[in-house]
């Protein structure tokens, strides 16, 4: 059963230049215990999508369901409840921890705010959480700036899992870390998923990371979902021209078989007051007249969906 | 980098430690401490009741008590009642009897400065603390909320700021009357909009930080996000501004006294001493030099402490 | 040729005595002879190419150019930063070399000293706190470390250019991009305004920006476009050596692909030598001819790209590859390097990687200096186990 169901979700922002269609009509499901990787380049709305799902942003339109229950317009006590079931791990381990809170204080905070535990229980749980994410006990009174990025990110993860949430939105949790540390944190996230049956939404621009950790992938471009499906399927049969270009653009360490690169012309424009139709069309090598019509998500079978009117032809 | 796990240090003690470790702020602390001690103990056993005017004493020849008294700590630190007029020493330059000289009524400047410090320093601190508190209490939620709230509050501040601070103080003072309390009120109200504006600007910057969003995602109530998470991270820069406010308020109060409002001429407040001495400063420069110097040293000391305090409050500068 | 290449390597020496005699080479080739050979050649031909004048530093300095074919030769570079109490040992005796038209990748994690190396080559390290303690940087035969500052002014920007990581802060927001490029052009060339303008527009076109945009300001450009402007600026005086410090890290993948393609293309067309600093092994694989793996300011492993990527020898290099999520491997767990990079104010004795190394033994932390071993021609590994066993 799908833990998270997102239907026609929209999040618009009013900006000086007009209306930013940051998330525009996104539909997908995240299965329980699975990891949904959301990939795209900066400004494609992947972070906004995640934040709208976990209710840090109020959706403009559409529905988000958690365990089949509509939570789109939750407020008051209901909102408090769903926020205990969903949490977030941030990209920047520097700005996501309060510089004046020690490690223990940071991890304790959600436990305290839930008003469910006694002081002793909170202490005990904090210790357990620190053990779980691999933070040494001697660091409990350390401040964030006294630790390296990897440890800071572990603290952020401990805070996120403190209340045993069902769903964690990971917003580029490893992109600020060095490769060797990145691998440590990815392993931790996967271990926790196994142990606690967590469901992740993994937002990243790094396709090799997403391939490694995600069961399903959604590719976004300027607020729209262009392709979604199982990871293996997407990597072996990328269908949308943008997905193809994105996959070919990853620098490969395979020096013997360099990948043939699909060179995209131009740069990402913006999602402010966009024209109807496929937003990738201006850069797409296969664009035709039909691409300026509104696109719908088409089913290619085996859970593989794509939003491209020329899907079968190219 | 590593810390002792079984000892969570008290933030206040740590801040104090770090302030003291900083040489500049330590000097500031010592100066201010000495000054405060002198001021506090100035009248513990003052030779005269502050309001007592003994006509015989005016003409009375100086006794050895006055001179010796200067050397003793506290008890006889202020050798004279601040309002005691030594007619023989009108405009007197510093001498063994009046170590800082006398004003046009023959009042001992040293005594007046010590007594005046009680009013002036208290006034400066109270004004600064009120301004600082108002800035934090109103400025930070406004900056965090942004949007319409922010706009409305900022426009209100603009209206206040449109009136020059001194003029506003005069208006308030003349409307409410003279006296210590009203002077504080008059000095504070003019400073609050600026203080709010400063804190709000910091809050506006800080609100982009993800730890605030994290707190929101953890169900931390908004007021707690503002006052528990955000405020400690944005107050350090305001500290320096606040220390400046102490000096400004003392000077502002002096201005009020000068135009006949404020604390009142009989109170030996530093501003009053200064504005009183102003008319004679070409003939008797010591009368303005000494109180001016004391005010300058005080403000300098406070600023030195403020700088050290700001650094001490920044956890990132911890070793 | 092969012999000369070997001798272009400088051993990582610790003691002053050893340094002067240059005798602790561990691979037993006829080193002294080669050294002589290299030096003689440099005297005959070294300065002739492209550089009219010879600087006294070249002869009087402690270091000698080892191979005149090397356009860039860094020998035993040591850089320290000193704050009030601590000394940060950022670069600890690194040596590498580069021929004309080649690209060398400096790979390492945050804090490994990569950027410091580049800034030391450019001589733009802030002093204080940074101090070049030892070493030589030969560019076109001249030791830049011995160069007086007024001569460096002529070299910086004209012969050596640097591209910084963040294109957002590298441009002055109040000047049009055309004016900014033109400024560089006019400092180093005696062009009239019209000529400089024409040159500027050509540079912009070369990096794929229409000349009509030269009057626009940085905020009107996207991140990728800004990085193109920065590159155009760096290339404006046709430098012979380009130091690119993470030039694509701030960019999106598809834009990164565009910019990398452009850098490669320009390098080939202009025959520029390039030092590419990056943490991304994929970028190195696609761009570089030679690779130096930097850890704690030392070269742990260096060699031709294929040697490093197909036959990594140093445990750290292996660890880096193991940390990388592979595109073609479905195994679920990564094998990261345990632990953390060492504190540069308190480097471990011996091999700086030993505390994290799965193969470390006592000897690793005892030797004051781990010798460099040449496991195959041109492939150097700084490890006690190098070449002794396969793991």
C26-55: pLDDT as tens digits: 343 433 344 334 333 433 343 333 343 334
Pairing type for strands C70-82 and C130-139 reads antiparallel
| Selected residue of B9, B213, B214 to mutate for chain A interface (largest A Cβ count, 10 A) | B214
Q: Which residue has the tokens 């990897």?
A: A150
Burial of B116 (0-12, 13-18, 19+ CB in 10 A): buried
Map tokens 């201010």 to a residue.
Answer: B32
Q: What's the pLDDT score for residue C19?
A: 37
- β pairing state of C298-304 and C379-381: antiparallel
Q: How far apart are CA A119 and CA A108, in angstroms?
A: 10
The answer to whether residue C48 neighbours chain A at the CB level (below 8 Å) is no
Proportion of chain A above pLDDT 70, given as a percent: 99
Q: What is the pLDDT of residues C170-226, one digit of tens each?
A: 888 888 988 988 888 888 878 888 888 888 988 888 888 888 888 888 888 877 788
| Nearest-by-CA chain C residue for A214 | C332
What whole-number distance in Å separates Cα of residue A54 and Cα of residue A111? 18
Q: CA torsion C304→C307→C308→C313, rounded to 10°?
A: -130
What are the angstrom distances between the C-alpha of C17 and each of B154, B275, C22, C96, C350?
70, 75, 8, 21, 18
| Residue B153 to residue B174: CA distance in whole angstroms | 27
Q: How far apart are CA A72 and CA A65, in angstroms?
A: 7
A254 interaction partners in chain C (CB closer than 8 Å): 285, 328
**Cβ contact, residue pair C256, A249, below 8 Å:** yes
- Say what angle helices C193-206 and C223-235 make with each other, to 10 degrees: 130
Contacts A234 to C, Cβ<8 Å:
none
Within 8 A by CB and 6+ apart from B63, the residues are: none
Mutation pick from A212, A214, A262 vs chain C, by most beta carbons of C within 10 Å, is A212
Mean pLDDT to the nearest integer, A114-143: 90
**Confidence (pLDDT) at A6:** 92
* Nearest chain B CA: its distance from A106 CA (Å): 10
Residue B73 has pLDDT above 50, yes or no: no
Q: What integer pLDDT is reported at residue C104 of this predicted model?
A: 93
Percent with pLDDT over 90 in chain C: 11
> Which residues 116-145 of A have a C-beta within 8 angstroms of B?
137-143, 145
Residues A59 and A50: their CA atoms lie apart, in Å, by: 11
Helix (H, G, I), strand (E, B) or coil at C184: helix
Residue C45: in which H helix or E strand, if any?
A: none
Q: Looking at beta carbons, which residues of chain A come within 8 Å of C328? A: 254
Q: Report cis status (omega within 30 of 0) of the bond before C247.
A: no
Per-residue pLDDT, B47: 43
The SS3 of residue B315 is: helix
Query: Chain A window 50-69: which residues touch B at a Cβ cutoff of 8 Å?
Result: 54, 56
Q: Contact A253/C306, CB-based, under 8 Å?
A: no
Q: Does C110 contact A245 at a Cβ distance shorter than 8 Å?
A: no
Element (H, E) at A203: strand A199-204
Cα separation, C12 vs C91, in Å, equals 12
pLDDT given at position B133:
92
Omega within 30 of 0 (cis) for the link into C129: yes
* Nearest residue to C125 (alpha-carbon basis) of C154, C96, C156: C156
Distance CA A41, CA C223 (A): 12
The closest CB to that of A110, out of B1, B8, B218, belongs to B218
Sequential DSSP letters for C379-391: EEE--TTTTT---
Beta-carbon separation of C257 and A256 below 8 A = no
Radius of gyration of chain B (CA): 23
Tokens read off for B282: 């070409």
User: Would you state the pLDDT for residue B95?
Assistant: 61
Q: Mean pLDDT, to the nearest integer, of B194-215? A: 89
Helix (H, G, I), strand (E, B) or coil at A86: strand
Least confident of A33-37, A55-59, B246-250, C268-272: B246-250
Chain B CB contacts of A101 below 8 Å:
229
Check if C190 contacts A (Cβ < 8 Å).
no
Helix/strand/coil (H, E, C) string of C69-132?
CEEEEEEEEEEEEECCCCEEEEEEEEEEEEECCCEEEEECCCCCCHHHHHHHHHCCCCCCCEEE
Mutation target for C interface from A40, A176, A179: give the one with most C CBs within 10 A. Answer: A179
Closest CA to C259 of B118, A270, B309, A261: A261
Closest residue by Cα to residue A242 from A220, A215, A261, A259: A220
Q: Which helix (H) or strand (E) holds C225?
A: helix C223-235
Q: How many CB pairs under 8 A join A and B?
A: 83
CB contact under 8 A, A141 and B7: yes
Q: In sequence order, what are the residues at sequence separation of 6 or more whose Cβ sits closer than 8 angstroms to the Cβ of residue A27?
A: A6, A7, A8, A9, A225, A297
Is B209–A95 a contact, with Cβ atoms under 8 angstroms apart?
yes
ipTM: 0.83
d(CA A233, CA A216): 9
- Where residue C61 falls among pLDDT bands split at 50, 70, 90? low
Nearest Cα to C253, choosing from A97, A247, A125, B82? A247
Considering only CB atoms, which chain A residues are within 8 Å of B312? Answer: none
Q: How many residues does the structure list for chain A? A: 314
Q: Tell me, yes or no, if C260 comes closer than 8 A to chain A by beta carbon.
A: yes
Contact criterion met (CB < 8 Å) for A182 and C323: yes
Q: How far is CA A218 from CA A167, A305, C152, in A?
A: 17, 9, 52
Give the CA count within 13 Å in the CB-facing half-sphere of C2: 7
In this predicted structure, what is the pLDDT of residue B65? 36
**Within an 8 Å CB–CB cutoff, is residue C253 touching chain A?**
yes
Cα(B108)–Cα(B192) distance, rounded to whole angstroms? Answer: 36
In percent, the amount of chain C with pLDDT more than 70 equals 82
pLDDT at B106: 66
**A30-43 pLDDT tens trace:** 999 999 999 988 87
Residues of C in contact with A134 (CB under 8 A): none
Picking from A267, A268, A270, A282 by the largest number of C CB atoms within 10 A of its own CB, the best residue to mutate is A267
Interface of C with A in 296-325 (CB under 8 A): 305-306, 309-310, 319-325
Which residues on A lie below 8 Å from B217 (Cβ)? 54, 56, 83, 86-88
- C312 or B177, higher pLDDT: C312
Q: Count of residues for chain B?
A: 319
B219:A84 CB<8 A? yes
* C7 within 8 A of C34, measured Cβ to Cβ: yes
8 A C-beta contact, residue A148 and residue C296: no
The alpha-carbon gap from A164 to the nearest alpha carbon of chain C, in Å, equals 23
Tell me the CA end-to-end span of chain B in Å, nearest whole number: 7
Rounded to the nearest angstrom, the minimum Cα separation between A84 and chain B is 7
Angstrom distance (rounded) from CA C262 to CA C256: 10
Touching check for A88 and chain B: CB below 8 Å?
yes
Q: What is the CA radius of gyration of chain A?
A: 20
Look up residue A114 and give its two tokens. Answer: 């839930």
Residue C75: phi, psi to the nearest 5? Answer: -125, 120
Greater confidence (B12 vs C262) lies with C262
Please, are residues C333 and C348 in contact by the beta-carbon 8 Å criterion?
A: no
Neighbours of chain C (3+ CB pairs under 8 A): A
Q: Which two tokens stand for residue B276?
A: 């009183």
Query: Per-residue confidence at C384, pLDDT binned at 50, 70, 90?
Result: confident
On chain C, the residues whose CB falls within 8 A of the CB of A230 are none
Q: Which residues of A touch C255 (CB under 8 A)?
A: 41, 267-268
Instruction: Give the per-residue pLDDT at C107.
Output: 92
At residue A202, the pLDDT reads 93
Closest by alpha carbon to C378, among C37, C1, C111, C64? C1
CB A170 within 8 A of CB A192: no
How close is the nearest chain B Cα to the Cα of A170, in Å? Answer: 12
Chain B residue numbers touching A83 (CB-CB < 8 A): 217-219
pLDDT tens-digit map of C264-292: 888 888 888 999 999 888 899 988 999 99
Minimal CA–CA distance to C182: which of C163, C154, C162, C201?
A: C201
* Interatomic CA distance for residues A197 and A213, integer angstroms: 14
Nearest residue in B to A96, CA atom: B211
Q: What is the rounded distance in angstroms from the CA atom of residue A140 to the CA atom of residue A137?
A: 6
Closest C-alpha among A289, A47, A263, A20 to residue A169: A47
Share of chain C residues as helix, strand and coil, in percent rounded to the nearest 5: 40, 20, 40
């Amino acid at each position: 059963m799908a833990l998270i169901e997102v239907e026609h979700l929209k999040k618009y922002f009013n900006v000086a230049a007009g209306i930013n269609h940051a998330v525009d009509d996104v539909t997908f499901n995240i299965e329980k215990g699975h990891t949904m990787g959301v990939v795209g380049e900066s400004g494609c709305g992947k972070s906004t999508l995640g934040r709208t799902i976990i209710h840090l942003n109020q959706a403009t339109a559409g529905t988000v369901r958690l365990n089949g229950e509509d939570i789109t317009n939750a407020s008051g006590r209901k909102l408090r409840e769903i926020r205990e079931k969903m949490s977030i791990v941030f990209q920047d381990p520097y700005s996501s921890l309060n510089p004046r809170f020690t490690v223990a204080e940071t991890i304790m905070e959600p436990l305290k705010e839930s008003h469910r535990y006694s002081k002793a229980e909170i202490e005990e749980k904090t210790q357990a959480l620190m053990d779980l994410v691999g933070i040494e006990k001697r660091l409990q009174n350390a401040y964030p700036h006294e630790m390296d990025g990897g440890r800071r990110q572990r603290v952020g993860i401990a805070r996120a899992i403190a209340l045993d949430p069902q769903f964690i939105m990971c917003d580029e949790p490893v992109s600020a870390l060095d490769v060797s540390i990145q691998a440590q944190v990815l392993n931790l996230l996967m271990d926790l998923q196994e142990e606690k049956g967590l469901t992740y939404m993994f937002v990243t621009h790094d396709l090799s990371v997403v391939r490694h950790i995600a069961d399903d992938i959604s590719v976004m471009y300027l607020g729209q979902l262009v392709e979604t499906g199982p990871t293996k399927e997407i990597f072996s049969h990328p269908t949308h021209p943008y997905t193809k270009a994105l996959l070919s653009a990853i620098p490969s360490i395979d020096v013997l078989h360099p990948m043939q690169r699909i060179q995209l012309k131009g740069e990402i424009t913006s999602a402010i007051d966009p024209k109807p139709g496929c937003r990738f069309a201006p850069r797409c090598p296969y664009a035709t007249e039909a691409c300026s019509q509104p696109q719908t998500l088409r089913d290619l079978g085996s859970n593989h969906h794509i939003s491209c009117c020329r899907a079968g032809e190219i | 980098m590593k810390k002792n796990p079984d000892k969570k240090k008290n933030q206040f003690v740590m801040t104090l430690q770090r302030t003291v470790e900083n040489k500049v702020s330590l000097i500031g602390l010592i100066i201010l401490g000495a000054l405060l001690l002198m001021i506090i103990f100035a009248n513990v056993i003052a030779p005269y009741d502050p309001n007592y005017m003994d006509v015989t004493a005016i003409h009375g020849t100086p006794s050895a008590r006055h001179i010796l008294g200067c050397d003793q700590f506290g008890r006889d630190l202020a050798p004279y009642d601040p309002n005691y007029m030594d007619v023989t020493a009108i405009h007197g330059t510093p001498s063994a009897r009046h170590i800082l000289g006398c004003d046009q009524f023959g009042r001992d400047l040293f005594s007046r400065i010590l007594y005046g410090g009680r009013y002036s320093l208290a006034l400066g601190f109270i004004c600064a603390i009120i301004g600082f508190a108002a800035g934090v209490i109103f400025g930070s939620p406004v900056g965090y909320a942004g949007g319409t709230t922010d706009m409305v509050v900022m426009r209100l501040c603009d209206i206040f700021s449109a009136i020059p601070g001194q003029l506003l103080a005069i208006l308030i003072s003349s409307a409410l009357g003279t006296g210590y309390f009203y002077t504080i009120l008059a000095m504070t109200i003019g400073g609050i909009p600026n203080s709010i504006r400063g804190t709000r600007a910091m809050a506006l910057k800080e609100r982009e930080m993800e730890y605030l969003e994290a707190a929101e995602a953890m169900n931390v109530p908004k007021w707690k996000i503002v006052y528990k998470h955000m405020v400690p991270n944005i107050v350090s820069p305001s500290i320096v501004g606040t220390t400046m406010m102490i000096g400004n308020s003392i000077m502002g109060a002096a201005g009020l006294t000068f135009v006949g409002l404020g604390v009142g001429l009989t109170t030996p407040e530093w501003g009053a001493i200064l504005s009183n001495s102003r008319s004679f400063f070409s003939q008797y420069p010591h009368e303005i030099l000494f109180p001016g110097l004391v005010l300058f040293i005080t403000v300098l000391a406070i600023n030195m402490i403020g700088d050290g305090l700001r650094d001490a409050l920044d956890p990132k500068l911890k070793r | 040729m092969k012999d000369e290449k070997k001798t272009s390597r400088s051993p990582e020496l610790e003691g002053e005595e050893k340094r002067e005699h240059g005798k602790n080479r561990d691979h037993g080739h006829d080193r002294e002879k080669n050294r002589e050979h290299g030096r003689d050649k440099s005297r005959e031909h070294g300065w002739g190419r492209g550089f009219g004048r010879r600087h006294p530093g070249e002869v009087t300095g402690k270091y000698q150019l080892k191979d005149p074919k090397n356009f860039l030769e860094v020998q035993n570079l040591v850089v320290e930063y000193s704050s009030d109490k601590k000394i940060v040992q950022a670069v600890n005796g690194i040596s590498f070399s580069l021929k004309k038209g080649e690209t060398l990748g400096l790979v390492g994690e945050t804090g490994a000293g990569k950027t410091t190396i580049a800034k030391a080559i450019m001589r733009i390290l802030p002093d204080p706190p940074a101090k070049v303690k030892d070493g030589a940087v030969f560019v076109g035969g001249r030791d830049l470390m011995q160069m007086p500052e007024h001569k460096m002014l002529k070299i910086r920007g004209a012969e050596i250019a640097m591209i910084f990581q963040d294109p957002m802060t590298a441009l002055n927001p109040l000047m049009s991009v055309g004016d900014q490029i033109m400024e560089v052009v006019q400092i180093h060339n005696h062009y009239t305004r019209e000529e400089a303008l024409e040159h500027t527009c050509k540079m912009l076109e070369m990096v794929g920006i229409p000349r009509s945009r030269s009057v626009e300001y940085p905020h009107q450009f996207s991140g990728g476009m800004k990085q193109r402007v920065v590159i155009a600026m760096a290339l404006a005086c046709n430098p012979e050596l380009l130091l690119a410090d993470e030039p694509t890290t701030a960019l999106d993948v598809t834009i990164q692909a565009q910019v990398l393609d452009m850098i490669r293309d320009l390098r080939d067309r202009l025959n520029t030598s390039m030092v590419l600093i990056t943490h991304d092994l994929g970028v190195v694989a696609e761009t570089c001819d030679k690779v130096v793996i930097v850890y704690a300011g030392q070269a742990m492993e260096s060699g031709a790209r294929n040697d490093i990527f197909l036959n990594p020898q140093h445990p750290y290099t292996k660890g880096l590859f193991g940390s990388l999520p592979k595109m073609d491997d479905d195994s679920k767990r990564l094998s990261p390097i345990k632990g953390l990079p060492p504190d540069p104010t308190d480097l471990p004795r011996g091999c700086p990687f030993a505390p994290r190394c799965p193969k470390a033994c006592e000897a690793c932390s005892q030797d004051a200096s781990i010798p460099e071993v040449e496991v195959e021609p041109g492939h150097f590994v700084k490890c006690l186990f190098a070449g002794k066993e396969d793991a």
